[in-house]
Amino acid sequence: MTPPDKAATRRRPRTSGKLRAVALMLPPALILFSLFVIAPLLNAGYYSLFHWNGYGTPQDFVGLRNYERAFDHSIFWVSVRNTVVLLLVSIFIQMPIALALALAIYRKTPTNAVFRLIFFLPFILAEIAAGLIWSFVFDGNTGLVAEITQALGIPPVFILSNRDWAFYAICLVVVWKYFGFHMMIYIAALQAVPSELIEAARIEGAKRWAVIRHVLIPHIRPAIVVSGFFAVIGSLQLFDLVIPLTNGGPSNQTHTIVSYLYTFGLTRLNIGYGSAVGVILFVAAVIVAVLYQWQLNRERAK
């Protein structure tokens, strides 16, 4: 039994130690995060109500005019359309390819390990490097495309300068760069499927395809939802690849929302306007996050 006064002296340093730990260890994170993440975000909302070039303090209050201007700007809608195209390509082309490859090589064998490394390789390269590599491949004078046109004896094709096709070329690069990431998510999930489950299905006479459809895929649904979320968020943020490939051209036809924001907001010092586009992007991201959380809860409830 501890005498009461001794218990009290024990508790006091503990509480003050707690206070000191909280007071010393938490503020750095709070300050850093508030200053460089939350404050800029709130400022984006504030600046978006002004016509402002970034110098002095914002004074020319324009209400929601910046938002109206964005919604009236045809290039803004081009960037939205491109983002939607990218999203559809990611979900309906990239993810199925990644899933098929994951099913082909998820088992732990040395050959599979090599293929896994190769497929994952583009993901670790910098977007800027990947973009430059592909702008070389697509170059009508020197690249792969040049090799093909030379072999066919037709004049050189510059796909990245083609208004109609340039963005699909960017989509191809996106698939090249990111399918390995999605594949790895599926592989991690597939390896966690209990092998007894697969064995049991086999013993009951299920064919390979039936095992995939009725055992493996239902089991990794949560992983597919996660990878879908990353595909959507990634599409909303794409920027680094666009700059070396097309820089948004020809005639602004290949902008994504972020490259639009950068080109029409920062390089022209329309801080107010760019902030409004940033807020629109933020709203889109929040909607995606809410839908994702909702879907995730539904998955868990199953």
Partner 1 sequence: MSRSNFLLGLAKVVVLLLCAGFVLGPIIATVLGGFKSTGDLRTNPLGLPKVRETQFYLDLITDPAFWRYMGNSLVISLAAVGLTLIVAAAAAYVFAQIRFFGSRFLLSYLLLGLVFPFATAILPLFITVRDLGLLDTYWAVILPQAAFGLSLAILLFKTFFDQLPRELFEAAYVEGCGYIRFFWRFTLPLSTPILATVGVFVFVQSWNNFLLPLIVLNSREVFTWPLGMMQFRGEYLTEWNRTLAFISLTLVPAIVFFLAAQRYIVAGLTGGAVKG
Name which of 87 and 101 has its Cβ closer to partner 1.
101
- Tokens standing for 192? 């966690």
| Residue 76 binds to partner 1 (criterion: CB under 8 A) | no
Other Cβ atoms less than 10 A from the Cβ of 170: the count is 24
| Residue 36 binds to partner 1 (criterion: CB under 8 A) | yes
CB of 115 to partner 1, least distance (A): 6
| Residue 188 binds to partner 1 (criterion: CB under 8 A) | yes
What is the C-alpha to C-alpha distance for residues 228 and 247, in angstroms, rounded to an integer?
Answer: 27
Name which of 36 and 77 has its Cβ closer to partner 1.
36
3-class DSSP state of 302: coil
| Residue 129 binds to partner 1 (criterion: CB under 8 A) | yes
Q: How many residues does the chain have?
A: 302
For residue 274, which of 32, 35, 36, 40 has the smallest C-alpha distance? 40
Helices (H), 139-216: 144-152, 166-191, 195-203, 208-211
Name which of 19 and 200 has its Cβ closer to partner 1.
19
199 φ/ψ angles, rounded to the nearest 5 degrees:
-55, -50
**Interface map 91-120 toward partner 1 (x if CB under 8 A):** ----------x--xx---------x-xxxx
| Residue 37 binds to partner 1 (criterion: CB under 8 A) | yes
Q: Is there a contact between 260 and 108 (Cβ–Cβ < 8 Å)? A: no
Site for partner 1 in 200-229 (CB under 8 A): 222-223, 226-227
| Residue 137 binds to partner 1 (criterion: CB under 8 A) | yes
| Residue 38 binds to partner 1 (criterion: CB under 8 A) | yes
| Residue 84 binds to partner 1 (criterion: CB under 8 A) | no
CB of 79 to partner 1, least distance (A): 12
| Residue 50 binds to partner 1 (criterion: CB under 8 A) | no
In order of 125, 256, 277, the CA distances from 274 in angstroms are 29, 14, 5
